[in-house]
Amino acid sequence: MATHFTLSLSPPKPFKNFTSFTKIPSLHFKKPLFITSIQSPTTPAAPVVQTFWKWLSDQGVVSAKTPAKIGVVPQGLGLVAQRDISRNEVVLEIPKKLWINPDAVAASEIGNVCSGVKPWVSVALFLIREKLKEDSIWRPYLDVLPDCTNSTIFWSEEELAELQGTQLLSTTLGVKSYLQSEFLKVEEEILIPHEQLFPSPITLDDFFWAFGILRSRSFSRLRGQNLVLIPLADLINHSPDITIEDGVYDIKGAGLFSRDLIFSLRSPISVKAGEQVLIQYNLNMSNAELAMDYGFIEVKPDRNMYTLTLQLSESDPFFGDKLDIAETNGLGETADFDIVLGNPLPPTLLPYLRLVAVGGTDAFLLESIFRNTIWGHIELPVSRANEELICRVVRDACKSALSGYPTTIEEDEKLKGEELNPRLEIAVGIRAGEKKVLQQIDQIFKQRESELDELEYYQERRLKDLGLVGEQGEIIFWESK
C-alpha cells in the first residue's frame, strides 16, 4: 500500500505566470516592520523627484491642493499627506493617458510586432524601449523607478544560497528559468527581426528588470484592467497593520459626459498631515509570495506557509478509480495544500490523504456502489492501517524536508536579533517560517498517531449503523427464538 503513496514537500506548486498581477511594490524589511517601501536601496535624487512632480503637474494630475505628495521616507519614496486625510478620502486621481498597459503598447510604434505576445511581455518590452530612449515622454516617470528590488529574482547566487532547503528557492529558480525561456522566444520573434524599432540591444537583465517592475508595481482587479502601471499611485507603500484591502482603488469615469477613465486611489484609514498614506497590498499572500513579488516579508505568523503536494501514483492498481473520485470532488491527480502557521489543516487534506493511501482490505470502498458516498466515508478515519500510513508518510516527509535546511529554527531566531541586510533578513525569516510550519504539521500527525487506538473507523461506524455495536463499542448479540 505504501509504495503507491506519493507525498512531495518540495518544490511547491509551480510558478504561475501573469494571468493576473497583484498590487504594488516594496523593497525594504527593517525592524520594527511598520512600513515597506517600493524603492531601491538608493532613493532617487531630489531633482529627479522634482522633475517627476512637475511632469505630473504639467499633465494636470497634481497641484498644490493634491492631498498627498511624494516624500522621502526611511524606506525610500512614498506618498506623504499634505493635510489631514480622512478614511476613504480620494488621495489621487490618475487619468488613462498616463497609464502604461497593453492599450498603450498597442498604440505605440511596437504595437504591431507585440500583438501576438503575452500582455505582460508586451508591456515589459514597452518599458524597456522607453527606458532606452533618451527623449521618451515617460522619462520623468522612468527615472524614479528602482534599478531592482529585493525580490528574490534579483538575488546573487551567494544570497540565494541562504534560501537552501526552502520552497521559495525552488520557486525563484523556476521563475528565473521561465524568464530566460520567455526572453529567448522574444529575442527570436521580435528583437532580432525588428531591431530597428529598438534604440539599442535589449538584454536578459533588461527583461528581468521589467518583469520585476511589473510584478511589484502593477495594479490588478480593476474594471477591464488586469495589468496596468499607474505612475505616482505606485509609490504608495504597504503597512502590515492595515487590514482593509477592498475598495482602496478603482476605475471610474472622468465625468458625466466623458468617456475618459480615471484611476482613483483612496486612503483606507485616516492619516494626519506629514504621515505616510499606506495601503494593504494583499492579505492572502504568504511571506514567500511577498518576497518573490515585492522583496519583503512580515513578522505575522499567518504569513508563514508551506505547501504539501500530494499525487496519485499511476502505478497504483486503483489509479483510475481514485482519480475519478478526486475529480468528482474538485481535486485531481496532483493536489496542493497550503498549510498556514497557526491555522487548522485544509479541510480536504485528510480525505485526499486517505484516498491516496486506500488499498488492501480497504479497497472495497473504491467500488462503484460507493462512488457517490465514498468522500463522506474518507472524511472520517477509514481503518487503523490507513490512518497509521498517512501519519507515517507525512511525518517522514516533514523530517526529510527539515533535514534539507542548513540551520535550525533556534539558529535562525538568534540571527534575527542581529543587524542583517534586507535580503539576509528575508532569507532567515522565510526559512524559519517554513520550518515552523513543518514542525506544526509533524506535531499534528504525531498527535494523531497517539490517538489511533481511540479513533472510530469505517467498520465500527458501519456496525453501529446496522445496530450491531453499542454506543460503548460492545458487540450486541441476539438469541434466536
Q: Which one of 281, 306, 352, 458 is the catalytic residue?
A: 281
377 assigned binding-site residue: no
Residues 311 and 5 sit within 8 Å (Cβ to Cβ)? no
101 assigned binding-site residue: no
Would you state the cell numbers that stand for residue 459, as one nine-digit string?
467498520
221 assigned binding-site residue: yes
458 assigned binding-site residue: no
**Helix 384-402 vs helix 349-357: angle between axes, to the nearest 10 degrees?**
110
**Cα torsion 133, 137, 142, 144: sign:** positive
**Cα torsion 352, 353, 356, 357: sign:** negative
Active site includes 281?
Answer: yes
- CA distances to 61, 166, 405 from 161, rounded to whole Å, are 45, 10, 11
287 assigned binding-site residue: no
461 assigned binding-site residue: no
Residues contributing to the annotated binding site? 217, 221, 234, 237-238, 249, 281, 294
Residues contributing to the annotated binding site for substrate? 217, 221, 234, 249, 281, 294
**Residues assigned a catalytic role:** 281
Residues contributing to the annotated binding site for S-adenosyl-L-methionine? 217, 237-238
